[in-house]
């Protein structure tokens, strides 16, 4: 068998002397992915191309020839174990391993291969689990782990201001590990995950949950076949459109959505649901024209890879450049290791699975490598991984377009930093990135300024009239018609009416309020108005002061925003939530109930007194008739407007303000007119009566009734 292999190698190298010894490498690839896992078959032609070029070089492994023994792991844990056993049990002895490409297989191979002192180089396995060097000490990978892809995803979220996302994942170790790492990064960046779901075969429940939670930004962590399955469910449930944004792995095969393997959905349905999805993947090919370790530019490699691919029944794979560079890096490391062994009179030809010294030497050599490959600068960190740049792609038209890249060593994901490719940009169906939640408009509903100005003008006229009545009451206090109607009490009534007019301004002041602090000040001013409105006796005023002070100290009144009913737009993406400024406290209902009871009792007492004195009509002795009319007015207006005020509700702020302002204006104006217009009329008629003279004994103005019988308004001593 070994002789046959040597003959094959001689044929491959085209004339190179068969005196070269063969270095056997175990290769793992995923071809027959019956479980619909990731297929890496398209990478094999690139690796074989690299091996052929290496064997033709005289400066790398000059006396040796590389030969790769391939095994298909089928992206399955059981087949991966079978493939590893075959590599170990069947001669010849393998010096190192390359692959597998699928994380499911790579994890199992890496967990066991180090017991046979085999260095393993991965080219597409991204599982974060492989970063645990205590469990996988001899595993290197030339591709970036999923943790780096997660940083690129979070940088995208930060760039577009998405802070509310949902995650849908396939229940596989690769995606479970990547999900745990992503959750940690999201938490540090203040991004909330509203839903995390996984499924096996039926994603309908997942989509229903996403719709119920109104998910808009959805991160998908799964293989391509599951993505087609969930996109079909999203299409059936109508979870698609410009308001929904999917973020997918970028390592799917080209036109993955065209594969028709989901019953009930066409390729066009999958495309419609996925829309302009975003994707992230390793920057697998450097755009620079620099010559690389292999001597080729990236463009030259692609031409050769395309030609090589024609000899295989496989489709192109985007990770082919990584597989190509992985073969070159392994060859370079073996070459440097053999140089070191030759200096110590040792040979690589004597390698066995018990040779731990060789494995450690090859591992240190790989860690010290720094070169330039098709995929860019190649070096490994202490986790034996490479921090690749990450492509940022967007589905535009009918293809994935690379619009920029994320560099984990330079870009700050907290600021959403990316390097955009010149001439490329993100394209959105409605011109703007989708929002991470429904747009909630929260307009502050305020009293109409025109309504406020009209009612305030009425209140201002009332205030001016009150000042006039106050002047009359003070200036003409020596007239008997004023003096005998308790001028001090009349002054208090005028002041109370003036305060009622002022309340018209306070109730509408929120028209000009822009902050809750200002509203709180207005609330406290409104809070103090009632003690003057009904306070007609100093003792009652003192009781009011005590009550309101206790309220304020134990349960302070403050301004707050209250949400009114929601209005949802026809497309369901815009919610209008109106708000109003209100004054409230913790036990407001209790305090107001006691207050209303107290004031109701006072009104009842006033109503009783007014009714009992309704027949007292001698105008020179009292104002009982007019006071009774005022009390009736207050009672009737209160019985009508107070219930109506609460029936109207806070949603109709214009009607509420108009109702209370009109009530205050009407009650105050009616009271002032009823009490003072008759007095002013009598004072203005004093010209028909001789000049009054105050009585020096009693201080009461008198006139001779017998001499002034035409003067019915003169007092009789």
Same domain, 314 and 353: yes
pLDDT of residue 8: 45
Same domain, 546 and 668: yes
Same domain, 517 and 630: yes
User: Measured between alpha carbons, how far is 113 from 139 in angstroms, rounded to an integer?
Assistant: 9
User: Measured between alpha carbons, how far is 362 from 384 in angstroms, rounded to an integer?
Assistant: 12
Q: Does residue 564 lie within any of the structural domains?
A: yes
Residue 240 burial by CB count (10 A; 0-12/13-18/19+): exposed, middle or buried? middle
358 Cβ neighbours under 8 A, 6+ residues apart: 117, 337, 341, 348, 351
Q: Which one-letter DSSP state was computed for residue 587?
A: T
pLDDT of residue 229: 93
The structural domain count of the chain equals 3
Query: Does residue 676 contact residue 469 with C-beta atoms inside 8 Å?
Result: yes
**For the chain, which ranges sit under pLDDT 50?**
1-17, 527-536, 620-621, 687-688, 690-717
Q: Does residue 91 lie within any of the structural domains?
A: yes
Same domain, 206 and 298: no
Q: 3-class DSSP state for residue 26?
A: strand
Q: Does residue 716 lie within any of the structural domains?
A: no
Strand locations in 16-63, DSSP E? 21-29
Q: Does residue 117 lie within any of the structural domains?
A: yes
Same domain, 575 and 449: yes
Cross-sheet strand order for the sheet of 217-221 = 192-199, 164-170, 217-221, 245-249, 278-282, 390-396, 399-406, 419-420
Same domain, 245 and 152: yes
Which pair of tokens denotes residue 211? 């719709």
Q: What are phi and psi of 473, to 5 degrees?
A: -65, -30
Q: Does residue 691 lie within any of the structural domains?
A: no
CATH number of the domain bearing residue 337: 3.40.50.2300
User: Measured between alpha carbons, how far is 304 from 121 in angstroms, rounded to an integer?
Assistant: 23
- Residue 283's nearest CA partner among 190, 410, 161, 176 is 410
Domain span including residue 564: 441-527+535-685
Q: Which residue has the tokens 């095969």?
A: 253
pLDDT of residue 350: 83
- Decide which of 436, 470, 501 is a domain's last residue: 436
pLDDT of residue 215: 92
User: Measured between alpha carbons, how far is 498 from 525 in angstroms, rounded to an integer?
Assistant: 15
User: Measured between alpha carbons, how far is 72 from 629 in angstroms, rounded to an integer?
Assistant: 103
Same domain, 85 and 190: no
pLDDT of residue 692: 47
pLDDT of residue 448: 75
pLDDT of residue 269: 93
Same domain, 242 and 321: no
Same domain, 407 and 368: no
DSSP H helical ranges for 67-203: 77-89, 103-113, 146-159, 173-188
Query: Does residue 491 contact residue 536 with C-beta atoms inside 8 Å?
Result: no
User: Measured between alpha carbons, how far is 220 from 517 in angstroms, rounded to an integer?
Assistant: 45
Residue 209 burial by CB count (10 A; 0-12/13-18/19+): exposed, middle or buried? middle
pLDDT of residue 707: 37
User: Measured between alpha carbons, how far is 97 from 353 in angstroms, rounded to an integer?
Assistant: 12
Same domain, 138 and 161: no
Same domain, 266 and 304: no
pLDDT of residue 717: 38
Same domain, 637 and 556: yes
Q: Does residue 598 lie within any of the structural domains?
A: yes
Alpha carbon of residue 318 to chain centroid: 33
pTM (whole model) above 0.85: no
Contacts 24+ apart (CB under 8 A), 621-625: 621/484, 622/484, 622/485, 623/485, 623/675
């Amino acid at each position: 068998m070994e002789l046959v292999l040597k003959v094959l190698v001689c044929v491959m190298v085209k004339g190179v002397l068969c005196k070269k010894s063969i270095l056997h490498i175990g290769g793992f690839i995923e071809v027959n992915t019956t479980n619909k896992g990731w297929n890496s078959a398209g990478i094999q032609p690139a690796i074989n191309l690299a091996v052929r070029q290496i064997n033709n070089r005289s400066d790398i492994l000059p006396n040796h020839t590389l030969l790769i023994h391939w095994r298909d792991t089928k992206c399955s844990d059981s087949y991966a174990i079978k493939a590893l056993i075959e590599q170990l049990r069947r001669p010849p002895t393998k010096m190192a391993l390359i692959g597998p490409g699928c994380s499911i297989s790579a994890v199992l191979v890496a967990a066991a291969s180090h017991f046979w002192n085999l260095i393993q180089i991965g080219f597409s396995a991204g599982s974060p689990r492989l970063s645990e060097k205590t469990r996988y000490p001899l595993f290197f990978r030339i591709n970036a782990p999923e943790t780096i892809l997660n940083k690129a995803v979070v940088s995208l979220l930060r760039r577009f201001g998405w802070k509310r996302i949902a995650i849908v994942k396939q229940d596989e170790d690769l995606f479970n590990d990547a999900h745990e790492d992503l959750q940690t990064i999201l938490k540090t960046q203040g991004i909330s995950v509203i839903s995390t779901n996984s499924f096996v075969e039926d994603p309908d429940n997942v989509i229903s949950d996403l719709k119920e939670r109104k998910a808009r930004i959805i991160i998908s962590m799964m293989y391509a076949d599951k993505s087609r399955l969930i996109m079909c469910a999203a299409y059936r449930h109508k979870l698609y459109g410009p308001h929904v944004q999917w973020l997918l792995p970028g390592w799917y095969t080209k036109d993955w959505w065209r594969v028709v393997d989901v019953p009930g959905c066409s390729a066009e349905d999958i495309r419609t649901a996925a829309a302009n999805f975003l994707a992230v993947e390793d920057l697998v090919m450097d755009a620079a024209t620099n010559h690389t370790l292999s001597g080729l530019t990236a463009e030259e490699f692609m031409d050769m890879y395309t030609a090589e691919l024609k000899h295989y029944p496989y489709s192109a794979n985007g990770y082919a450049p990584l597989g190509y560079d992985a073969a070159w890096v392994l060859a370079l490391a073996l070459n440097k290791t053999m140089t070191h062994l030759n200096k110590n009179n040792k040979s690589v030809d004597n390698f066995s699975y018990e040779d731990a010294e060789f494995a450690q030497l090859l591992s240190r050599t790989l860690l010290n490598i720094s070169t330039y490959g098709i995929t860019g600068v190649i070096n490994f960190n202490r986790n034996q991984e490479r921090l690749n740049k990450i492509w940022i792609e967007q589905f535009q038209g009918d293809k994935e377009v690379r619009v920029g890249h994320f560099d984990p060593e330079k870009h700050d994901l907290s600021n959403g930093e990316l390097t955009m490719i010149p001439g490329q940009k993100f394209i959105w169906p409605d011109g703007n990135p989708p929002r991470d939640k429904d747009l909630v408009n929260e307009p502050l509903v305020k009293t109409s300024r025109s309504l406020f100005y009209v009612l305030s003008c009425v209140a201002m006229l009332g205030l001016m009239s009150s000042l006039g009545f106050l002047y009359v009451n003070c200036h003409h206090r020596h007239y008997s018609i004023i003096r005998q109607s308790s001028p001090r009490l009349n002054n208090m009534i005028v002041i109370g009416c003036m305060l009622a007019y002022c309340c018209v301004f306070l109730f509408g002041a929120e028209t000009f309020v822009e902050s809750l602090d200002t509203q709180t000040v207005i609330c406290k001013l409104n809070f103090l108005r009632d003690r003057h409105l009904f306070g007609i006796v100093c003792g009652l005023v003192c009781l009011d002061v005590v009550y309101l002070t206790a309220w304020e100290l134990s349960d302070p009144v403050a301004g707050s925003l209250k949400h009114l009913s929601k209005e949802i737009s026809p497309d369901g993406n815009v919610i209008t939530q109106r708000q109003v400024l209100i004054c409230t406290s913790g036990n407001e209902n209790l305090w107001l109930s006691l207050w209303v009871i107290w004031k109701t009792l006072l009104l009842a007492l006033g109503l009783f007194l007014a009714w009992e004195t309704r027949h007292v009509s001698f105008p020179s002795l009292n104002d009982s008739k007019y006071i009774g009319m005022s009390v009736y007015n207050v009672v009737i207006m209160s019985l009508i407007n107070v219930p109506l005020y609460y029936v109207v509700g806070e949603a109709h702020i214009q009607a509420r303000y108009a109702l209370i302002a009109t009530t205050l204006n009407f009650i105050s104006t009616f009271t002032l007119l009823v009490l003072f217009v008759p007095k002013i009329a009598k004072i203005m008629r004093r010209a028909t009566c001789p000049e009054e003279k105050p009585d020096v004994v009693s201080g009461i103005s008198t006139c001779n009734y017998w001499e002034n019988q035409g003067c019915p308004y003169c007092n009789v001593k």
